Amino acid sequence: MKTISTLALAAGMVAAGAGAAFAQGASSDAILRTYADIALAGYEDALTTARALDAATNALIANPSDETLLAARAAWIASRPSYQQTEAFRFGNAVVDAWEGKVNAWPLDEGLIDYVDASYGAESDANGLYTANVIANPKLSIDGQEVDATEITPEFLASTLQEAGGIESNVATGYHAVEFLLWGQDLNGTGPGAGQRPFTDYSTEANAARRGQYLDAATDLLVTDLEEMVAAWAEGGEARTALGESGLSTILTGMGSLSFGELAGERMKLGLLLHDPEEEHDCFSDNTHASHLNDGIGIRNVYLGRYVRVDGSVVEGPSISALVAAKDAKLDAEVRSQLDDSVAKLQAVADRAAGGEAYDQQIGEGNVEGNATVQAAIDALIAQTRGVERAVALLDLGDAVTIEQSDSLTNPDAVFE
């Protein structure tokens, strides 16, 4: 298995020459084909690793033990890099953004799914299902209607429980629901340690059979949802076809929005402002550092038109980098340098985590060095967004590109209101 560091290195080996490799004949159609081919390969890899996760969770359910639980957790962690690198395809692609909430929505009110610690609280003014605990309760009331939850199936999770009552934090499906079922709550605050769910939750503890039923349904559904997105990026698929309408603006919208509003803002700066461990993407597993790093790598992938697959093979072709370089080589070199810098700064966050200081500890109040490491990554992401905006202007795409914003970056006082 590649380590985070070697994965980042492999993805960045061509940073100095990617634009030149395809500088001739970098038509819009050719660039969009590369972009779609990378999307397809990324979602195929995400599907492959999700199937491995499904097999590992099946083994846990069939034979609960420390070994099978640890193997399932390892399979979950291994499934994240390829998926996170696809997040650069979200913004600007309506097909992907409408679908994404099924597989990667967060944060979630975990009391909807299973038991929680008393510190979680018993109720929420914003969510009547805050502690519904579907695993313990085969009957639920949703919007005043009794719901039969006797059988926890993929269909039940997707059509009834996901965003039940119209509440976004009622996340019942996807990576983070599975993550919670494998780790349980992380009750360590900004101290060391991830969730510590015991394997006995799937054998001798109360509702073990229903917990296994939920985990089985959630992983099966994750595979099905990823199969849907693979089909959407295949030849003739909905997402690939839609590129003909949106054009190159889609690539730069995705790069800028993930860089700025989503990653630098909502996923990083918000948690740093609040010093809140609940504001971390993979909060149960303490894997947030890896998810942020692979988001950064994914942004760079689409600019360079190059993706390293989980099997080590490479998908590459004409890129936005080549198009920008043909018009302004200096700007292209600057953007590529900014992308490399943001990946390096995100790698520094990951390196601290590898050294024993998890992301939630790095954003903790009073951790001067950890806070500074995270802030440096945020600053690099903001800088690369400015580079993306200059590329948008160079290519005369300003009217077609809208970059997602975040109060955490543009109006931080609002975060505390």
Report the distance separating Cα 271 and Cα 90, nearest Å: 22
Question: Is the bond into 192 cis (omega within 30 degrees of 0)?
Answer: no
Three-class SS state of 10:
helix
* Residue 350 · residue 294 · CB < 8 Å: no
pLDDT by 10-residue block (mean), the chain, 417 residues: 39 41 68 98 98 98 98 98 97 95 96 96 93 96 94 98 96 98 95 95 96 98 98 97 91 97 97 93 96 98 98 98 96 98 98 97 97 98 98 95 95 90
Half-sphere exposure of 394 (CA within 13 A, CB side): 21
Predicted local confidence at residue 4, as pLDDT:
40
* Residue 178 · residue 76 · CB < 8 Å: yes
* Residue 60 · residue 72 · CB < 8 Å: yes
CB atoms within 10 A of CB 390: 15
Q: Residue 398: what residue type?
A: G
User: Does this model's pTM top 0.85?
Assistant: yes
Report the distance separating Cα 226 and Cα 327, nearest Å: 37
Q: Of 286, 231, 296, nearest to 262 (Cα)?
A: 296
What string of DSSP letters covers 42-95? HHHHHHHHHHHHHHHHHHHHHS-SHHHHHHHHHHHHHHHHHHHHGGGGTTT-HH
- pLDDT, tens digit, 9 for 90 and up, residues 265-285: 999 999 999 999 988 999 999
Half-sphere exposure of 296 (CA within 13 A, CB side): 36
What string of DSSP letters covers 13-56? TTTTTHHHHT-TT--HHHHHHHHHHHHHHHHHHHHHHHHHHHHH
Q: Which two tokens stand for residue 241?
A: 């076809």
Predicted local confidence at residue 22, as pLDDT:
45
- Specify the residue for token string 């402002």: 273
- Specify the residue for token string 């100095």: 16
Task: List Cα–Cα distances, 36 to 97, 101, 138, 259, 398, in angstroms.
Answer: 15, 21, 43, 20, 22
* Residue 172 · residue 161 · CB < 8 Å: yes
Predicted local confidence at residue 5, as pLDDT:
42
CB atoms within 10 A of CB 146: 9
What residues contact 96, with CB distance under 8 A and at least 6 apart?
A: 89, 90, 229, 232, 239
Three-class SS state of 227:
helix
